[in-house]
Each structure stands twice: as C-alpha cells, then as structure tokens.
Structure 1
Amino acid sequence: MDMDITVPVPGGMVWAQDTGGEGMPVVLLHPGVGDSRIWDGVVPLLAPHHRVIRYDARGFGRSPAPTVSYSNARDLAVVLDHFGLERAVLAGSSLGGATAVSVALAAPGRVAGLGLLCPGVTGYPELSSPAVTARIGELAKAGDVDGLVELGLRTWGAAGSGTDDEAAAQLRAAVPAWFATHPYVTQDAPAFDRLPELDVPCVLALGEQDQDEVVRCNEAMAARIPGCRLVRWPHCDHFPSLRDPGAVAGLLLELAAGPRSAP
C-alpha cells in the first residue's frame, strides 16, 4: 500500500512515497526537467517485486522550496536513513543520476546497484551546449516560463510527438524549482574523474535522440565505470520513463535481481 510521507532533511522537508513490500528496495530519483511523477508509469511495474521509494527533491513537485543551503546527495543519504535502508538499488534520471553516483562514491556499501538513465555527473565540463546555457539564462532573467518550456522540449524532448503534453507538463512543473533552488543548492563534489572507483553493478541507458552533449557524457561515463552495461535506445530522448516505462522497468528489475542485489 502506497504511503505518502514527509521526510525531514536539514533545514527543510521533502515529500516521499513508499510502496512497502518485500524484495530489494529501489529508490527512484527524478531528473531536473521533472519531478517524481515522471515515474508514474514505472512504479506499478516495479512494486509487485520490490519496495519502491520515490521522492521530490527540494523545490520540486510536492516538496517545499529550500530556504537554506543543501546538497542533493546529502538529502538522499538522509532519505535512505529515514526509511531504514541499509542497501538499495538507486535509479536516477539526469540530475537524479548525478545524485545517485555521488552517493555510490561516498557510501558504496549502501548501494546494491546503479540504474542510470540519461544521467548527469558532477565534474563533467560540457554537459550542455554554450548556446543552450546562454539562452536558458536569458529566458530565466526575463521570467519567461513558456520560453523555457519550449526550449526544453526542443533541447531534450526530440523524441516527442505532437504537442508532447507529458514532457511539457513535467518541464512546466520543474521550471519554478530551477528558480527556487538556484540560490541554495550546492553542487556535490566532482565525480566524473572518480567513476573508475565505482564497484557496484551498473547499467547506463542513453537516449540517442537526447542532446548531443548528454550522449557524449553518457558514453564517457559508461566507459569509465568498471563493468558498466551501456544500453542505447535509438528512439528515446531525455525522458525515458515517459517514452518507454516498460523498458525502464525491465532494466531496473534485471539490475535489482542481480546476485549482488539479493536481500
């Protein structure tokens, strides 16, 4: 039975949901272009087999905006403690992937596996094109939410069709969080050069319709992570859990069933 929970984090709170159940816990970490609702199509496929926990990072979705300095990786560690999770599979999309990697480096014994979907990573120099970064800054300064959503769809939503309502809704919900978190979020320590230190089962899925810089980053990450399985989805962009929740769930079920992930 799903339980909605408010989790205290240093100087704030985050909203979380726990399906309960048996099996290796799987913690879902949303991207910066959406919130935890982006996993709506995945959770029902995982929950019959695993305890699934997802939460909204500060300022996103149902979590209050931050008022103090914070770190996404530290917040994840607090969430794991709150739910009494000694070990869990961490599944992170984009920003959530960067957070999962940071925690896996800081506390490898707590991570039974890494499922990285179009992930970011701290310490990688060229994750976004200079033109896109500059345009985001211009639109943000103007407070142009519609412009930011349109730019986001063009940049990260290439596999969408028509008006792409689902991805647009996720972006529209995420944009206020960009403004709310910017003054307070502190970037976690650079992780890209430390990827060879990872010693956990890992699968990294990239969308070949994603932004070129993200694809190159993901290829470089997979090459550096020992034993990482790289999966390429030709018709996917930066929203894999929207485009093909079944494929995402399949990868995570396989990862969580691995021998090192046994409860």
Structure 2
Amino acid sequence: MIRYDARGYGRSPAPTAAFSLVEDLTAVLDHFGVVRAVLAGSSMGGATAVSLALREPARTAGLVLLVPGITGADDLVSVEFMAEMGRLAEAGDEEGLVALLRRTSGAAVTGPDLEVEAHLRAVIPAWFANYPHNVPDPPAYDRLGELDVPCVLALGELDQAEVVRVNETMARRIPGCRLVRLARSDHFPTVREPDAVADLILEACARAR
C-alpha cells in the first residue's frame, strides 16, 4: 500500500510552480514502479483517482471512491459557499473558515471532534498555498461512462447535500458501480467509519482485475 500527501498537505511542501494532481499521482506510481493499482481516494483524492483511471485505464485495477470530488461538476459546490469562503479568506478569518467548513462538510451535524477540527485547520493553509499553482485536470464528470473497472463509491449520508447529490449521479454514471451509503459519515468517512472504509478497500483489492 502506498499513501502520499498531496502538495501542501501533511509532510509535502507547498507548490512553487504549476502542477497537476493527476500528474503527481502518476509520478508517485512511477517512482515506486507500480504498473497497475487499485486507487482509493477521498474527496479531492477521489477526483484524482477518477482522472487517472480515465487517462490511463490500463493502469487502474479498481476504484474506491470515498465522498469523491469530480472535475467538471459545476454543482458540486454551491455559489453561496464559494462567495462566503472568499469573503472570509479576504478578511483573514480562520475561525470563520473553520466554522464554514464544519457546516458544509456535515461535521456540525455529527458533533465536535478534535481530529476533524485539526484536519480542517490544516486544510485551510494548504488550499490557499495550492490555489495559484494548481492546474485543474480535465473535466471527468461527463466521461464517467467510459470507466471499465470494478468501482465502489461510498457517500456520507450526513455530508453536504450538493456532494451527496453529485455522488449519487456519479454512481449511476459509472458502469457497474456499487453505491454504499455510510449512515454515520459526513465528509470524513475515514474518521467516522474507518473499519467500513478499510473493508471497502480490501474488497476492491480482492475484486481487482
């Protein structure tokens, strides 16, 4: 198993030049000499996994998409959310940003959690460090019907309504995709239901072809 931090997150340094998330994933696989893999990704990582599966299908043995994002879905994030985030960012209001992310990720429903709180605080500087340099990968939302690998998509039933709706549409568009509804999860299933997430990944590895 290989797990890596995207640029600006965790132990990975912030970018200083233009970069693509899917090209970074490709570079990681190349570095370790991985020819084919089951790709598991949560949120932004799910979008990156889909992008690689469309770009290099022979390299993808299976997909585990956890509350995934997706390029090309204009309704994944509301206009109101983007406007509020911009206002808070311009004001330098970190507490306001954390509160906004808690509300829109469903974390406000599931209650306080120190691990999620720490995660949200770590995400904010990474977002702003990456924004000027991240070159969006090509739109994938309307190409999901091209995927031809075993796929499971897990959505959090307590997640933001827009994300749940897009995740349901993604599962319908991906041929043979199995949709799993995690009843106790918001946008952080790896924290809320880690055993269920681990089981889905192991199952995908067993089904990989």
Shared fold, TM over 0.5: yes
Runs of 4+ residues deviating >3 angstroms = none
Q: Counterpart in 2 of 1:116?
A: 65
Q: Contact 1:158–1:237 (CA<8 Å) still a contact in 2?
A: no
Q: Give the alignment of 1:203-242 within 5 angstroms.
A: 203-242=152-191
Q: Counterpart in 2 of 1:160?
A: 110
- Is structure 2 residue 184 aligned with structure 1 residue 250? no
Q: Contact 2:184–2:193 (CA<8 Å) still a contact in 1?
A: no
**C-alpha separation in 2, matches of 1:62 and 1:142:** 27
Q: Give the alignment of 1:42-61 within 5 angstroms.
A: 52-61=1-10
**What amino acid sits opposite 1:164 in the alignment?**
D
Q: From the two aligned structures, give the one with the greater strand fraction.
A: 1
Q: Which moved more, 1:211-220 or 1:148-157?
A: 148-157
Equivalent pairs, count: 208
Q: Deviations over 1:161-197 (max 9, x none)?
A: 2x32111100101110011001000110000111000
Q: Counterpart in 1 of 2:34?
A: 85
Q: Contact 2:157–2:184 (CA<8 Å) still a contact in 1?
A: yes
Secondary structure of the equivalent of 1:58? coil
* Deviation (angstroms), 1:158: 3.9
Secondary structure of the equivalent of 2:159? coil
Secondary structure of the equivalent of 1:126? coil
**C-alpha separation in 1, matches of 2:121 and 2:110:** 16
**C-alpha separation in 1, matches of 2:99 and 2:10:** 20
Q: Contact 1:158–1:210 (CA<8 Å) still a contact in 2?
A: no
Q: Contact 1:159–1:236 (CA<8 Å) still a contact in 2?
A: no
Q: Contact 2:61–2:208 (CA<8 Å) still a contact in 1?
A: no
Q: Contact 1:207–1:215 (CA<8 Å) still a contact in 2?
A: yes
Secondary structure of the equivalent of 1:112? strand
Q: TM-score, normalised by structure 1?
A: 0.77
**C-alpha separation in 1, matches of 2:23 and 2:16:** 16
Identity of aligned residues (%): 62
**C-alpha separation in 1, matches of 2:97 and 2:33:** 38
* Deviation (angstroms), 1:239: 0.2
**C-alpha separation in 1, matches of 2:157 and 2:58:** 32
**What amino acid sits opposite 1:146 in the alignment?**
E
Q: TM-score, normalised by structure 2?
A: 0.97
Gaps of 5+ in 1: 1-51
Gaps of 5+ in 2: none
Q: Contact 1:196–1:225 (CA<8 Å) still a contact in 2?
A: yes
**What amino acid sits opposite 1:249 in the alignment?**
A
Q: Counterpart in 1 of 2:48?
A: 99
RMSD over equivalenced CA pairs, Å:
0.9
**C-alpha separation in 2, matches of 1:95 and 1:259:** 22
Greater RCO (CA < 8 Å, at least 6 residues apart): 2
Change (3 A) 1:200 1:234: same
Secondary structure of the equivalent of 2:27? helix
Q: Counterpart in 1 of 2:126?
A: 177
